[in-house]
Chain A
Amino acid sequence: MNTSRRSFLKVVGLSAFALSSGMASLAGTAGAAGAQIAPGRYERGAKALTAKRWAMVIDTRQFHSPEDYEALIEACHKVHNVPHIPGNQNIKWFWLDKYDRVFPDDMNAHINTKTRQAEYPLLCNHCSNPPCVRVCPTQATYKMEDGIVAMDYHRCIGCRFCMAGCPYGARSFNFVDPRKYLSDPVPNPAFPTRMIGVVEKCTFCAERLAEGKMPACVEASGGKVLFGDLEDPNSTVRQALAANYSIRRKPNLGTQPGVYYLI
């Protein structure tokens, strides 16, 4: 074939141009496919409570026995259809444990008996720097703008990396169908249950905040558990933290928990 260098370069240039414009139009349609499906629009609820960083302060001084926490646990588990499964496969959203397991960093051999023997309430700490979110391979768990570490059970593949990542044991895996351990109809028919094979945890009652309601445990505590915006100097949580000595769980890990304990 007798092609001059000049005509060869012309053809190469033209085909490069044609290919690149073709790619650009393909990328354009792909972008359009990711656009919103619904003809309407989305917004926040009018009554929704908002904050820059939600946090909880638990005044453990006002709880004198493990029974004092019963109402809180019951309120939480009822609102979220959390089953009670006997044995080591229980689902934990809000539970109790002893001082040496809650605050291992602050434990010493001669700590006073009252502090050592008391039971302390535990829940997801909604860390500012959540290790569970970092390790989740599907982004089923994620941190929202208001500091809540949330779960999308639709996306959870049950790999349990988050359970290994969480230093607080705040995540539970559904080894069995949780509905087997719930009443029928479920305690709260307005809230879904979970299914076998997903991990679940406390949500800081994001669905209740959206309706303008405080979290269930806060509501049931009668003022002994405070909830508010950590970034707002006038919020109840900030005032409680300013006026009292508070500790958090395992602060040396750098996760920056959002749950504070007044001891």
Chain B
Amino acid sequence: MYNAKAVITGIVIFVVLFSSPFWVGYLGQNYTKTDIVLPKDEKNCIEDVEFMRAQHMRLLNEWRDEALRKENRVYVSKDGKKWAISLQNTCLKCHNNYKEFCEKCHVANSVYPYCWTCHIIPTEGK
């Protein structure tokens, strides 16, 4: 092959560069490292962590429709516990640190929901 050394090196460099996003994604930080601070005094959320992490926004939408339109203002979770359907009075009672919980993850994921134009963020540290 003519100029084999340069060609092969070039191909290797090209492949590494081309696949670099995958390597960065594979070796770099994953979403569990957003350093969110979980509530201290409560161990369990209404459902398991994986569900809450992936589906909390859909759950909130469903809560909204059930509470506002069907007057079903109590949620009975899988383990039988009853929860009043309220972002402000149920969720934020435990998740009372907006900066360290909601915001960190939302910023890391570049999502900016406008919940707080109406719902009231709890005052920190209480």
For residue A192, CB closer than 8 A to chain B, the reply is yes
Interface bin, chain A:
20 to 34
Inter-subunit contact A39/B72 (CB<8 Å): no
For residue B49, CB closer than 8 A to chain A, the reply is no
B43-87 interface with A by 8 A CB criterion: 46-47, 51, 55, 58-59, 62-66, 68-78, 84-85
CB closest chain-A residue, reference B51: A39
Inter-subunit contact B77/A44 (CB<8 Å): no
B15-52 interface with A by 8 A CB criterion: 46-47, 51
Inter-subunit contact A190/B64 (CB<8 Å): no
CB closest chain-A residue, reference B58: A37
Q: Of residues B58, B66, B76, B117, which shows the largest number of chain A Cβ atoms within 10 Å of its Cβ? A: B117
Neighbour of B47 across the interface among A38, A145, A206, CB < 8 A: A38
For residue A40, CB closer than 8 A to chain B, the reply is yes
For residue B5, CB closer than 8 A to chain A, the reply is no
Interface class of chain A by DSSP: loop
A119-157 interface with B by 8 A CB criterion: 142, 144-146, 150, 152-154
CB pairs A–B below 8 angstroms (18 shown): A37-B58, A37-B62, A38-B55, A38-B63, A40-B46, A40-B47, A40-B75, A40-B77, A45-B74, A45-B84, A48-B73, A144-B69, A145-B71, A150-B69, A152-B65, A177-B117, A190-B89, A193-B120
Write the nearest CB–CB distance from A127 to chain B, whole angstroms: 18
For residue B3, CB closer than 8 A to chain A, the reply is no
Inter-subunit contact B66/A42 (CB<8 Å): yes
Interface residues of B (CB under 8 A from A): 46-47, 51, 55, 58-59, 62-66, 68-78, 84-85, 88-89, 114, 117-120, 123
CB closest chain-B residue, reference A195: B117
Bound form: Cα–Cα A153–B69 in Å: 12
- Residues of chain B within 8 A (CB-CB) of A191 are 88
What number of residue pairs across chains A and B have CB atoms under 8 A from each other? 80
For residue A186, CB closer than 8 A to chain B, the reply is yes
Inter-subunit contact A152/B69 (CB<8 Å): yes
- Residues of chain A within 8 A (CB-CB) of B74 are 42-46
Bound form: Cα–Cα A38–B118 in Å: 24
- Residues of chain A within 8 A (CB-CB) of B64 are 152, 154
Inter-subunit contact A40/B119 (CB<8 Å): no
Neighbour of A38 across the interface among B71, B75, B88, B114, CB < 8 A: B75
- Residues of chain B within 8 A (CB-CB) of A210 are 71, 73
Bound form: Cα–Cα A142–B70 in Å: 11
Neighbour of A43 across the interface among B46, B76, B118, CB < 8 A: B76
- Residues of chain B within 8 A (CB-CB) of A43 are 72, 74, 76
Neighbour of A42 across the interface among B68, B75, B117, CB < 8 A: B75
- Residues of chain B within 8 A (CB-CB) of A37 are 55, 58-59, 62
- Residues of chain B within 8 A (CB-CB) of A22 are none
Q: Mark A182-222, 1 if CB is under 8 A from B, else 0.
A: 00011001111111100000000011001000000000000
Bound form: Cα–Cα A150–B123 in Å: 29
Inter-subunit contact A38/B59 (CB<8 Å): yes
